[in-house]
């Protein structure tokens, strides 16, 4: 059974860089029909797609966050990571990593449990 | 960018009721629409993909329809465990979620 687990600091200071890692177990991140993504949810609000990455390092970002986001992949560790720079209180959210099935359809079919990141001094 | 608008924002219904909610895209997204269920404190769960296809293991009381800009999600007979917020998501151009419909038991 595929499992995704987010990890990283729960508290980040304003103007600093948020860094999270998603560890994938029970399946290979190299599987060609999947991309891997980050989605966030501010407290009490809806879902916002941040970006996705393929195992070869190809990325796609939300235009509204593109200038501040970097997603990378480490196939040797079966994990991928998120960096979001110059954070503000508006970046406080529950951050999810998820698998994006991408073959004859596209959907986020497996999700991590989420990790809360608070931006505060 | 494509905007997704869900209505209503909240909905109250009784066990056994037929429940319907809608999702409207700001432009034609063909059939490229998914529905997710998010229970309190949990990650979203995929229910319907490509507007009308039931994900494996999802009860048949859930269904979806539509294409183009207008989509509908239906629960044929509401069960207590269906209390959740439901989100639509398009993938015709990048990925955008609707703001959600919160479903409560009357």
Chain A closest-CA separation from residue B14 CA (Å): 24
User: Which residues in chain B are closer than 8 Å to A113, comparing Cβ atoms?
Assistant: 42-43
B72 — pLDDT class (breaks 50, 70, 90): very high
Q: What's the pLDDT tens digit per position in A83-95? A: 999 999 999 999 9
Q: What's the pLDDT tens digit per position in A68-78? A: 999 999 999 99
pLDDT (0 to 100) of residue A71: 98
pLDDT (0 to 100) of residue A80: 98
Whole-number Cα distances in Å, A110 to A27, B79, B81 = 11, 24, 20
Q: How many other C-beta atoms can be found within 10 angstroms of the C-beta atom of residue A98?
A: 23
Cα-Cα-Cα-Cα torsion B78, B88, A47, A77, nearest 10 degrees, comes to: 100
pLDDT (0 to 100) of residue A109: 97
Chain B closest-CA separation from residue A46 CA (Å): 5
Interface test with A, best of B30, B43, B44 (most A CBs within 10 A): B43
Say whether B53 and A105 touch across the interface (CB within 8 A). yes
């Amino acid at each position: 059974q595929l499992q995704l687990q987010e990890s990283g600091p729960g508290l980040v200071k304003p103007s600093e860089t948020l860094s999270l890692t998603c560890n994938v177990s029970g399946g290979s991140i190299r599987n060609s029909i999947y991309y891997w993504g980050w989605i966030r949810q501010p407290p009490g609000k809806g879902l916002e797609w941040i970006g996705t990455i393929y195992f070869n390092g190809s990325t796609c970002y939300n235009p509204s966050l593109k200038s501040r986001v970097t997603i990378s992949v480490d196939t040797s560790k079966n994990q991928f990571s998120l960096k979001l720079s110059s954070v503000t209180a508006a970046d406080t959210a529950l951050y999810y990593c998820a698998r994006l099935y991408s073959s004859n359809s596209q959907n986020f079919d497996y999700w991590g449990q989420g990790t809360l990141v608070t931006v505060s001094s | 960018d494509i905007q997704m608008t869900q209505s209503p924002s909240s909905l109250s219904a009784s066990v056994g009721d037929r429940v319907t909610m809608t999702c409207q895209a700001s432009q034609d997204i063909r059939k490229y629409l998914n529905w997710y269920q998010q229970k309190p404190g949990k990650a979203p769960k995929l229910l319907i993909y490509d507007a009308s296809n039931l994900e494996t293991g999802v009860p048949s009381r859930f269904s979806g329809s539509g294409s183009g800009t207008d989509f509908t999600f239906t629960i044929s007979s509401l069960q207590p465990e269906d209390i959740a917020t439901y989100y639509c998501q398009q993938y015709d151009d990048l990925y955008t979620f609707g703001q959600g419909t919160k479903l409560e038991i009357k």
